[in-house]
Amino acid sequence: MKTSRFLLPFVHGVDLRAIEQAILLARDHEATLVPLVLIYVPEERCAKGARLEYIQQSRDFLEAVKFKAARYAVPIERLEVFTSVIVQSINLVASEMACDGILLFIGRKNGILLHSNEIKHLVEMPACKLYIMHLQTEERGSFTQMLRQRFSQWLNGRRREHEDLLQGRETAEEEVELSMKT
């Protein structure tokens, strides 16, 4: 029986929402998630190696995927590639690993986990099926968060008022009981 695989390429910007969506999709398809970290190293800089912040960000991404995948019991096969040709490397790994699809995430204006120009090139020359998911950007998320926060504050205020009323009633009842005893 062939194992289904979904490739999740990463270049920049650890986004936990995208990671969770990728894991849930893999779980729903009973597939293995293949988080692929692509660390960009320009050809003229090959002798010096990759920038330290790219390496640290890739480690953070892989740890986040590992943690979330364990939470949802989704198998993963982690890969890390140092390359100067991002799109070709993604397509090559997708072909060699016989991936059933490549998971791509976009926001309102730019790519998530990949740059928008890399997503555009993948769409133009895909190696396999592409799953393109649109996630809300922080602008929308902050509005939703603001509404949740205001509702929560209002609700907590109502609870406090109710508790104060109950507390006042209990105090009045205690005073009535004390006056009856004397």
* Residue 33 and residue 50 in one domain: yes
* Residue 18 and residue 57 in one domain: yes
Give the chain's domain count. Answer: 2
Q: What percent of the chain has pLDDT over 90?
A: 55
What's the CATH code of the domain at 99? 3.40.50.620
* Residue 178 and residue 168 in one domain: yes
Closest listed residue to residue 95, CA positions, set 31, 42, 36, 55 = 36
In sequence order, which residues have a C-beta less than 8 Å from that of residue 7 and are 6 or more positions away? Answer: 34, 36, 90, 93, 94, 97, 99, 101, 102, 103, 128
What local confidence, expressed as pLDDT, does residue 77 receive?
A: 96
| Overall average pLDDT of the 5-11 stretch | 96
Predicted confidence (pLDDT) at residue 173 exceeds the cutoff of 70? no
* Residue 118 and residue 154 in one domain: no
pLDDT interval class at 170 (50, 70, 90): low
* Residue 96 and residue 120 in one domain: yes
* Residue 115 and residue 48 in one domain: yes
Lowest mean pLDDT among 14-28, 54-68, 82-96, 138-152: 138-152
pLDDT tens for each residue of 78-137: 999 999 899 999 999 999 999 999 999 998 888 999 999 999 999 998 889 999 999 876
* Residue 149 and residue 123 in one domain: no
Dist CA 178 CA 173 (whole Å): 9
* Residue 112 and residue 141 in one domain: no
Token look-up 């799953």 returns 131
Q: What percent of the chain has pLDDT over 70?
A: 75
- Across the chain, what does the average pLDDT equal? 84
> Between these two residues, 21 and 181, which has the higher pLDDT value?
21
What local confidence, expressed as pLDDT, does residue 33 receive?
A: 97
What local confidence, expressed as pLDDT, does residue 138 receive?
A: 54
* Residue 64 and residue 125 in one domain: yes
* Residue 26 and residue 83 in one domain: yes
Dist CA 75 CA 79 (whole Å): 13
* Residue 130 and residue 154 in one domain: no
Enter the pTM of the model: 0.72
* Residue 131 and residue 141 in one domain: no
Range of the domain at 103: 5-135
